[in-house]
Amino acid sequence: MKKVYLILIAAFLIAGTYSGYSQESKGAWTTGADFYNRYNWRGSDFGNSPAIQPTIKYVDGGFSLGAWGSYSLSGVTTATEADLFMTYAFKSGFSLTLTDYYFPVEPGSVGNYTTYKAPHMFEISPGFTAGKFSIVGNYAFANVNNDIYVETALALKTCSLFVGAGNEQYSSDKKFNVVNIGISTTKTITISDKFTLPLTGKVILNPNKDQIFFVFGFTI
């Protein structure tokens, strides 16, 4: 797994060097952050508190790599996450993503980042998009019990519907169950000619754990 981690780090360095020195590169770096009233991931609640989720990403054609994190605004350390990811999206609609998830128990004291063991989790995710329909499979192949999660989504005119199912960490009995059913909608508020504020609202039901969540956030 150390090799996987080093590949992601090397990709960051190569992308930074390439975009900085190549006159032919059409790639660009972007950054932003989401603010949510709670962090809900694949039907499971993380932290039960407001969270800020920053992103930095490099995109060049179908290739992208980036870093994403989540940090509780109330100091809940169990909701801390820092990930690296790399994706290639083909023109046919297929895509492939490699992700290094990092879940420190308490940043700076427990869970050394360079051990490449838990609290790291490595995952490969093939996906396919056709028009308004998309499906993605996620297979965690390191430091976990071969966890699998599959999600389908349908983008309608005013909202998006999604259904996800998984085993192991996603399911209360470790068996493959539907764990994430929901609806998502967005609205953009115009603040000025140069600034808009995208809002997102979600209703999420986890029938396996008999839980429901209401998630609201905005992006800057």
**Domains along the chain with CATH numbers:** 2-219 (2.40.160.40)
Among 80-84, 100-104, 133-137, top mean pLDDT goes to: 133-137
For range 79-108, the mean pLDDT: 86
Whole-angstrom CA distances from 150 to 19, 61, 181 are 34, 26, 12
Report which of residues 146 and 91 the model is more confident about: 91
How many other C-beta atoms are found inside a 10 Å radius of the C-beta of residue 100? 22
Residue matched to tokens 């929901």? 182
pLDDT at 110 over 60: no
Closest Cα partner for 39 from 83, 94, 97, 89? 83
At 74 the pLDDT is 82
139-142, long-range: CB < 8 A, 24+ apart: 142/1, 142/4
Do strands 133-142 and 81-89 pair parallel, antiparallel, or not at all (unpaired)? unpaired
Q: What is the rounded radius of gyration, in angstroms, for the C-alpha atoms of the chain?
A: 18
| Residues 18-69: tens digit of each pLDDT | 555 555 557 899 999 999 999 999 999 987 889 999 999 999 999 999 999 9
Q: Considering only the C-alpha atoms of the chain, give the largest distance between any 2 of them, rounded to a whole number of Å.
A: 54
Report which of residues 111 and 217 the model is more confident about: 217
**What whole-number percentage of the chain has pLDDT above 70?**
84
pLDDT at 124 over 60: yes
- Cα distance from N-terminal residue to C-terminal residue, the chain: 34
**What whole-number percentage of the chain has pLDDT above 90?**
67
| Residues 158-205: tens digit of each pLDDT | 999 999 999 999 999 999 999 999 999 999 999 888 899 999 999 999
* Lowest mean pLDDT, pick from 74-78, 94-98, 125-129: 74-78
pLDDT at 104 over 80: no
Q: What is the band of 146 on the pLDDT scale with cuts at 50, 70, 90?
A: confident
At 47 the pLDDT is 76
